[in-house]
Amino acid sequence: MANLLQQVLGQASLPIDPIRSPTFQPEGKGGGEFKAALAEAIGRVEEARTTSVDSVNRFLAGENEEIHNVVLNTQRAELAFEAFLQVRNKVVNAYQEIMRMQM
């Protein structure tokens, strides 16, 4: 028990590192995961939009495209865009909240 107490007291006297403010990391050294996730999300929304436009164009051209497929593709594209918009709004709100924080 005495050894444990001496170890704890010995560790308590170690110096504490000072708190440092966050530093700016230039592009290319960090944030690549967020950038990749954002690019992938934008790609998915764009792919849904393209599929929807192609489906509508095939239907209007009289090709073998059924109306229910056109409606489904259009709704998928709309839902993907609305979901992406909501995520963007949440990210912007989080950024604004961080900027309002006092340092």
pLDDT at 45: 93
pLDDT at 37: 87
Question: How far is 23 from 15, CA to CA, in rounded Å?
Answer: 23
Q: Are the C-beta atoms of residues 74 and 55 closer than 8 Å to each other?
A: yes
Each of the 103 residues of the chain gets a pLDDT tens digit; together they read: 556 556 655 555 555 555 555 565 555 566 688 888 889 999 999 999 999 999 999 999 999 889 999 999 999 999 999 999 999 999 999 999 999 988 7
pLDDT at 103: 74
Instruction: Compute how many other C-beta atoms are within 10 angstroms of the C-beta atom of residue 59.
Output: 17
Q: Please give, one letter per residue, the 3-state secondary structure of 62-97.
A: CCCCCHHHHHHHHHHHHHHHHHHHHHHHHHHHHHHH
The stretches of 21-66 forming alpha helices (DSSP H) are: 32-60
Instruction: Show Cβ contacts of residue 83 under 8 Å, excluding neighbours closer than 6 positions.
Output: none
pLDDT at 6: 61
pLDDT at 102: 81
